[in-house]
Amino acid sequence: MAKKTIAKGELIEVMVEGDKCYKIFSNDYPKTHVMNEAFNTVTLEDTEINTPRLLDICKIDGKWTLVLDYIKGKSIAQLMEENPDKLDYYLGKFIDIQLQIHEQKVFTLRKHNDKMNRKISKTNLSATLRYDLHERIEAKPKHNKLCHGDYDPLNVILAEDGKYYVIDWSHATLGNIEADGARTYMMFLIDKNKNLARKYIDLFCEKAGCSLDDVLSYLPILAASQSVKDIKDQAEFLNSLIFMEKKELLELYEQE
């Protein structure tokens, strides 16, 4: 049986063969990042979250590859698109699973605040602005909740066995759930899905018992961190977020 490509980006190609999934990293992808994702994945196997098992770490055509269980099914993103009348139902499930993630007891992952400080230090922002962002991070509560870090409807799969599986733990850290919610909200905004972004953040805050202001306050920090990737079609929006104060963040939320 030949391997079949199911996703391909600039740095990563995902292939499947039988019941195995091959995540193949380009030679430009840092080896440390590959191994960190492998470590995160193995760590999450010991939680109550359904997640693909890491089966092997190898090289294919000289490229580092993670071999994982292939979870056959449909992502929540697909289910929302195919069943618009059930969007609220799937959004609720999506958030319930995120809150289940936050409740898992994990102690060995990197700290979210450390990751944000490291990435902001690599930006081309002015020294004054970088200092201000570092100070904002240090002022945040020091929680140790498990955060997925890239919690997107594409990364939650309803499998053929009827269970939901969460994939792609490359950005998992320990930190504040408000940061994890803000990250998902920001990515909905980047995708220009304002309606879903608003529905998501309202329901997330309600279910998690979070303050909207606390969630929104993470947006400049997360935008600065995301800007390091230098994705052209995101740059203008991220730059605007970085400079927003509390009032402007609330105005962004209130826009229809």
The pLDDT assigned to 150 comes to 96
pTM, to two decimals: 0.94
Residue whose entry in the numeric block shows the structure tokens 């840092």? 30
Domain boundaries, the chain: 4-69, 73-254
Q: What share of the chain is helix, strand, coil (3-state, %, to 5)?
A: 50, 20, 30
Q: pLDDT digit string (tens) for 84-143?
A: 999 999 999 999 999 999 999 999 999 999 999 999 999 999 999 999 999 999 999 999
Residue whose entry in the numeric block shows the structure tokens 């740095």? 11
**Nearest alpha-carbon partner for 66 in 75, 57, 79, 53:** 57
CB atoms within 10 A of CB 232: 6
CATH of domain 4-69: 3.30.200.20
Q: pLDDT digit string (tens) for 17-50?
A: 999 999 999 999 999 999 999 999 999 999 999 9
Q: What is the DSSP letter of 23?
A: E
Q: What is the DSSP letter of 19?
A: T
d(CA 1, CA 118): 43
The pLDDT assigned to 256 comes to 55
CATH for 73-254, among 3.90.1200.10, 3.40.1550.20, 3.10.290.10, 3.40.50.720? 3.90.1200.10
